[in-house]
Amino acid sequence: MDNEIKRACLEKSMLAPFSVGKNEFVAFCEFCRKKVSGSIRISKNNRAYNVSVRGAEFHHLDGNPENGVVENLKLYCRKCHKNVHYWGQIQRWLEKCGKSVEDLPDSRNLKPMTFGRY
């Protein structure tokens, strides 16, 4: 994914632009609000390079990694990112079977990502 796209996504979630040089930052998972940190370097010609976010990953909402527009990206901690993909697989399987999460035997104990925070 392009560093400029990552930069725009981070600036959107943090509501602040980055300045020239090395920028350390703290951001939050857009699902569970867990604190994550990282760094980004901005060149003198105002281009982003070397974007690093520790403990988090960018998630493509439409599932297409080629669609790198800011509106298609969310910053999730690794646990939430894994769970988003896990629940997506379960929901697609249930849809193929003509069922829903409520049809599962222990549905009251399940807390899928689409139902809210876990």
Contact 2/50 with Cβ under 8 angstroms? no
Q: What is the pLDDT of residue 40?
A: 96
Q: What is the pLDDT of residue 108?
A: 59
Q: What is the pLDDT of residue 111?
A: 56
Measuring CA to CA, how many Å separate 86 from each of 12, 49, 72? 26, 31, 19
pLDDT in tens, the chain (118 residues): 899 999 999 999 888 899 999 999 999 999 899 999 999 999 999 999 999 999 999 999 888 889 989 999 999 999 999 988 888 787 788 888 888 767 766 655 555 554 444 3
Whether the predicted model's global pTM rises above the 0.95 cut: no
Task: Please tell me the distance from the alpha carbon of residue 48 to that of residue 25, in angstroms, as a whole number.
Answer: 14
Q: What is the pLDDT of residue 97?
A: 84
Q: What is the pLDDT of residue 115?
A: 43
Q: What is the pLDDT of residue 109?
A: 58
